[in-house]
Copies of this chain bind each other. A is one copy, B any other.
Amino acid sequence: MSSSIGLIAGMGVLPLHVADEASTRGLKVIAIAFPGLTDPSLERIVGETFWLKLGQLEKAISIFKSHGVEKIVMAGKIEKSNLLKIWNLRPDGRALRMIRSLKDWRDDTILAAIAEEFRKDGILIDEITPWAGKLMASSGVLTKRAPNDIQWKDIAFGRTMARGIGALDIGQTVVVKNAAVIAVEAIEGTDKAIRRAGELGVSNTVVVKMAKPQQDMRFDVPGIGPSTIDSMIAARARVLAIETGKTMITDFSETVRKADGAKISIVGIPVDGPVTE
């Protein structure tokens, strides 16, 4: 049993949480970080940090192997728009071979291919949830304010829509009002989809973010945080519904404080069944 764990660290505070949890369990953390993406303060809480470009797959694998890492966690968003700018990736030989073998550019395809490369060298990618349990949304109303009856209906409607676009692997988030879909998230991300609904002049909306039905919890777990609430305030959205146990809340206290200040409701909802309290 290895006493170290690898960490591929994307954007935001999530990699810090995972590193903290792993350290608490007495594991040494070997981190791969990316300039411009990863929070530099990661270096203060992990054993060793290696700064690479996104395309340095060979290098990442050899770093983990030379440190005896057999299990890694991928934490923190690496926006797909970064991956699409393929010539900014500086892919090494191994990454290039992997890219050429992709049958398409869907999230699941890319991430499965990356996982397979690591697996070939005896390195397994773990689900993130066991390393970030404290951050997962619980069930029910998380804010002072609860949704009203009409909003609960829109939460149920939005859940159906979000699962529909998730099943198509398009995105995780929809913005709805009165059983009409105002905005759908594709690659632009949750915040921009929320802001767009406001820019279209539709306020008092309900935002629903669900894991994809086929979501691989090793990668890209749905997340919300203070910036989500900032976007909702800008768009005058009223309710945020997220999937219980599958959505991470980065900086829970700040997220709820902001929501309470703006009289926004946040609720954790199950993947199916009734959504009311």
Interface pair A105/B178, CB less than 8 Å apart:
yes
Residues of chain B within 8 A of A188, CB atoms compared: 183, 196, 200
Residues of B near A80 (CB, < 8 A) are 180
Is the C-beta of A181 less than 8 angstroms from some C-beta in chain B? yes
What CA separation (Å) do A85 and B188 show in the bound complex? 27
Q: Is the CB of B106 within 8 A of A180?
A: yes
Q: Which of A59-104 contact B (CB under 8 A)?
A: 80-81, 84-85, 104
B157 pairs with A168, CB closer than 8 A: no
Q: How large is the interface on A (under 10, 10 to 19, 20 to 34, 35 or more residues)?
A: 20 to 34
CB distance from A201 to the nearest CB of B (A): 6
Is the Cβ of A104 less than 8 Å from the Cβ of B180?
yes
A164 is an interface residue with CB less than 8 A from chain B: yes
The one of B169, B178, B182 that contacts A104, using a Cβ cutoff of 8 Å: B178
Residues of chain B contacted by A202 (CB below 8 angstroms): 81, 84, 187
Cβ of A151 to closest chain B Cβ, rounded Å: 14
What are 12 sample pairs from A and B whose C-beta atoms fall under 8 A apart? Answer: A81-B200, A106-B180, A107-B180, A164-B165, A170-B184, A171-B181, A175-B186, A183-B186, A183-B187, A183-B188, A184-B184, A187-B202
Q: Which 5 A/B pairs are nearest by Cβ-Cβ distance?
A: A104-B179, A184-B184, A105-B178, A105-B180, A164-B168
* A contacts, CB < 8 Å to B: 80-81, 84-85, 104-107, 157, 161, 164-165, 167-171, 174-175, 177-184, 186-188, 196, 200-202
Given contacts A84-B202, A182-B187, A183-B187, 11 further A-B contacts (CB under 8 A): A81-B200, A81-B202, A104-B180, A105-B177, A106-B179, A107-B180, A164-B167, A164-B168, A170-B174, A171-B184, A181-B187
